Amino acid sequence: MTMVERTIWRVGHGRSLDLTEHGAIMAIINVTPDSFSDGGLHAGVETAVAHALACAQDGAVILDIGGESTRPGAAEVSADEEMARVLPVIDALRENTDALISIDTYRAATARAAVEAGAHIINDVHGLQREPEIADVAAATGAGLCIMHTGRGREKLEDPIADQRHFLGLSLEIAARAGVSRETIVLDPGFGFAKETLEENMDLIARFEELHGFGLPLLAGTSRKRFLGTLTGRDARDRDAATAATTVALRLKGASVFRVHNVAINRDALVMADAMLAAERRLAANKDLPV
């Protein structure tokens, strides 16, 4: 079989994730009362830990722990409240699973405390541009860093890929100034975050390959998003099949990490997409064609 370029994502505490030939599932663990599709279901420490461990059993290799809802209009919580929600969950998971632990926060203080508690990855939905000091935390700790594009709170460029390049380019400048190693970075185009129309989200899927120009692994977070409901007519908790369809589509377009609510269905979808890619590489090698 034709060899593919090796892609290793370096994360905190001496860990790494091989993304060369297989995609990775990141499970959404919302320790919140008000997240858009599962708010309150796992708000307690015990229920959040149990849910996270079940997600790991279903095939998640990353558990993304969040203490503040990112849905539009959600109330902000204080840093102290955010840490009170997430740190006990991270403490418990560190002792009970080998899965990588991610902290979903834009706050430098929460990120620092979470990595000290055992988190391997920092996932910032503001792309380092709300609290740039979070890049210093990533650089100092060697944590993996998910940098997400968002259009919230600013005027976007008309072309969606041009806006991705503009925003994420600024984020990568912040990371570089802080001394963050590029081998720790994954980029997330931020489906649904001020992508107001169905067309904008679908155009982002259709043109996803253009994001490979950054030369970094890509994360896809389409799970249960509103544009899937627009297409299917289904409520948020009934959009897992549609989510799995985007997992296949975006894996075939080169996404490496998939942030989802329902791990099992997306794990199976990803297995099929990875098998399709492996078959394409095998056929190309047999025909002596480049991949």
Residue 106 has pLDDT above 60, yes or no: yes
16-18/8-10 β-pairing: antiparallel
Q: Is 97 exposed, middle or buried (0-12, 13-18, 19+ CB in 10 A)?
A: middle
Residue 244 lies in a domain: yes
As a whole-number percent, the residues of the chain with pLDDT over 90 amount to: 86
H or E stretch including 289?
A: none
Residue 2 has pLDDT above 50, yes or no: no
Residue 291 has pLDDT above 90, yes or no: no
Residue 37 lies in a domain: yes
Residue 290 lies in a domain: no
Residue 51 lies in a domain: yes
- pLDDT tens track for 29-66: 999 875 545 555 555 899 999 999 999 999 999 999 99
Active site residue 156: no
Q: How far, CA to CA in Å, does 83 sit from each of 61, 67, 217, 261, 279?
A: 23, 7, 28, 22, 45
Domain count, the chain: 1
Residue 1 lies in a domain: no
Residue 287 lies in a domain: no
Spatial separation of the C-alpha atoms in residues 254 and 23, rounded to whole Å: 9
CATH of the domain at 107: 3.20.20.20
Residue from 151, 152, 146 nearest 161 by CA: 151
Q: Among 225, 239, 251, 267, which one carries the catalytic annotation?
A: 225
Q: How far, CA to CA in Å, does 225 sit from each of 13, 65, 107, 220, 221?
A: 32, 18, 24, 12, 9
Q: Among 107, 251, 259, 267, which one carries the catalytic annotation?
A: 259
What's the pLDDT at 289? 59
- pLDDT tens track for 5-38: 899 999 999 999 999 999 999 999 999 875 545 5
- pLDDT tens track for 214-242: 999 999 999 999 999 999 999 999 999 99
Average pLDDT over residues 105-134: 98
Residue 120 lies in a domain: yes
Residue 19 lies in a domain: yes
Active site residue 225: yes
Q: Which domain holds residue 252?
A: 6-69+77-282
